[in-house]
Amino acid sequence: MPRVLITTDYLRPGDEVDNYLSAAGLETRHLPMIGRRDPEELVSALAGVDAALIAHEPLTAELLARVPQLRVVVRTGVGYDSVDVEAAGRLGISVSNLPGINANAVAEYTLGLLLSAARRLGHSAMGVRAGGWPREEGYELRGATLGLVGHGAAARAVVPLARAFGMDVLCTTGVAGRQRDDVDGSVRFVPFAELLAASDYVSIHTALTDRTRGLFDASAFGRMKSTAVLVNTARGALVDERALANAVRTGVIRGAELDVVAREPLPPDSPLRGVDGITVYSHLAGQTAQARWAAGLAGAEELVAALEGRARFAVSGVPTEH
């Protein structure tokens, strides 16, 4: 009986996903990923395992080489930068993601972060909790310009929501042909530098690759409006966190709403801590009940299909956008 390791933290023994895999003749083992995990613990957990349904487990080339029985890896989400896909390919391991599975959840959350930044909701709530009654003015989204970095499923889902609030939408994308997706002219595609200079809010929706790592550095912040806010629901390592902290602290940009950071959970010594204008959340963009249900079942279906040699969402080294 093939064995499956499940590390996605919201999947549990006896749930719908577990029952689906058991009905397919698979033996399941759950080891929820909460915070960082020692690599040796993961090697031990993967020993004798044929397939894995994973969260953000770092599956490096060295680790994959030590688990020879592993044949299939499925991410219960869109990003797969934590997996060394090239090494997996050399070892004959199929790697799949679930493109667009949580796009609506991420899009709604992105609008939530925009509203939070514009109306200073977190600042107000914290002030009341501390015994105060903050009454600083906020900003309306209507008439503001939103710049989307990336034009994948989540970014495309943001567009009608932003337009409903009366925002103008710009986009920059490194994926050829993406402009053709904008059939109604609701997005204007511009180069990265122009988007930075023109946007009141910049929202990141691109994949983490060698080319995009640290894309938002001191130079990028210097091109942005001093009143601009950065929103990141993609990957933390797309942002140079020390440069961001300095940019907000010195007024180069107004602030940042970050759902993701380079190291999760946020380390005690992170440069992002204690910076007025920077709010860090706990990687919740895709974590709705609906998105979790869909990702769990779709991941299980993909895992069974991949074990049978008919994976539908096998990934390669080609850059994608969230």
Q: Is 235 a catalytic residue?
A: yes
How far apart CA 189 and CA 243 sit, in angstroms, is: 27
- Selecting among 283, 292, 321, 322, the annotated active-site residue is 283
How far apart CA 312 and CA 152 sit, in angstroms, is: 18
Instruction: Identify the burial level of 232 via C-beta atoms within 10 angstroms of its C-beta, where 0-12 means exposed, 13-18 middle and 19 or more buried.
Output: buried
Other residues' Cβ atoms within 10 Å of the Cβ of residue 91: 15
How far apart CA 151 and CA 170 sit, in angstroms, is: 10
- Selecting among 66, 188, 213, 264, the annotated active-site residue is 264
How far apart CA 218 and CA 245 sit, in angstroms, is: 10
How far apart CA 174 and CA 159 sit, in angstroms, is: 18
Q: Cis (ω within 30 of 0) for the bond into 160?
A: no
How far apart CA 57 and CA 44 sit, in angstroms, is: 13
Residue spans of alpha helices (H) in the chain: 16-23, 39-46, 61-65, 85-90, 103-119, 121-129, 153-164, 192-198, 218-223, 241-249, 289-307
Which of 191, 194, 205 is CA-nearest to residue 102? 205
% helix, strand, coil for the chain, step of 5:
35, 15, 50
Q: Is 264 a catalytic residue?
A: yes
Asked if 57 and 7 count as a contact pair (C-beta separation under 8 A), the reply is yes
C-alpha distances in angstroms, 139 versus 116, 117, 136, 228, 312? 10, 9, 10, 12, 44
Q: Is 283 a catalytic residue?
A: yes
Which of 242, 204, 243, 192 is CA-nearest to residue 221? 243
- Selecting among 71, 75, 205, 235, the annotated active-site residue is 235
For the annotated catalytic residues, the residue numbers are 235, 264, 283
